[in-house]
Structure 1
Amino acid sequence: MAALGRLSRALLRSSLTQSRRQLSASAHDHGEQSARTWKILTFVVALPGVAVCMLNMYLKEQSHSHEQPEFVPYSHLRIRSKRFPWGDGNKSLFHNPHVNALPDGYEGHDE
């Protein structure tokens, strides 16, 4: 009976070792195949997609007008209930005088 137990353990051990080797080789092949697939997708899908987006942005920028928008003194816009803690207190932190109007109009324009 003891010999039968030793034999079954030896067979089980050898079959487990063999299946581990097969799984290891299979996982290694699968990893290489996945890496190859992602490399192909990067060059065939991702990079052309980025190029198309860049071309779209460039063409839209070329057709965009760079004129200053008309100032309309709406009462609900540009409300200053409290001064900003920087500069003269009237301009926002990322103020752009070409596009951002102050409560009384754009800077540098006496209309």
Structure 2
Amino acid sequence: MAGIPNYVLRRLLHTSLQRAAASTVQVRGPSAVSGGHEGGYKVWKNLAFFVAFPSIILCAVNCYIQETSHPHERPPFVKYEYMRVRTKRFPWGDGNKSLFHNPKVNALPDGYEDELEN
């Protein structure tokens, strides 16, 4: 090896590394480029119809049954100074109720509506 110039050794090393890298890389055929997985959508369609949608329906039924079997009592009203602060009136109604106000659940700054009436 003493008689071989450095540029020849570098060229040999470079070509051998290129060949080693090329042999490990798998080249895809034309079927992968054009799609090639015919029928793959059918698997996802069947998973959606037979796994995902029934799971969603079962979860919704479970939530409904749990909610109706254990009714929740609303918490007592405590007037904290940092909650239900109205610095600006709402642009609808009397300006005190939010857009999705529920008188059974949502309290006004002074208390629940049915407790205020009494």
TM-score > 0.5 by shorter chain: yes
Within 5 Å, which residues of 2 pair with 1:70-81? 70-81=76-87
In the alignment, what sits opposite 1:68? 74
SS of equivalent residue, structure 1 residue 48:
helix
Distance in 2 separating the partners of 1:39 and 1:83: 49
Shift of 1:101: 0.7
Distance in 2 separating the partners of 1:79 and 1:39: 49
Between the two proteins, the alignment pairs up a number of residues equal to 87
In the alignment, what sits opposite 1:45? 51
Shift of 1:48: 2.9
Distance in 2 separating the partners of 1:95 and 1:48: 33
- Kindly report the root-mean-square deviation, in angstroms, between the aligned alpha carbons of the 2 structures: 2.7
Return the letter of the residue paired with 2:75: P
Query: Taking structure 1 as reference, are residues 81 and 39 closer, same or farther at Cα in structure 2, changes over 3 Å only?
Result: closer
Query: Could you list the runs of 5+ residues in structure 1 that have no partner in the other structure?
Result: 1-19
The runs of at least 4 consecutive aligned structure 1 residues that moved more than 4 Å come to none
Return the letter of the residue paired with 1:81: T
Is 1:88 matched with 2:106? Answer: no
Distance in 1 separating the partners of 2:114 and 2:45: 54
Whose relative contact order is higher, 1 or 2, with alpha carbons under 8 Å and at least 6 apart? 1
Query: Taking structure 1 as reference, are residues 93 and 55 closer, same or farther at Cα in structure 2, changes over 3 Å only?
Result: closer
Q: Which has the higher helix share?
A: 1
Distance in 2 separating the partners of 1:60 and 1:81: 38
Query: Could you list the runs of 5+ residues in structure 2 that have no partner in the other structure?
Result: 1-29
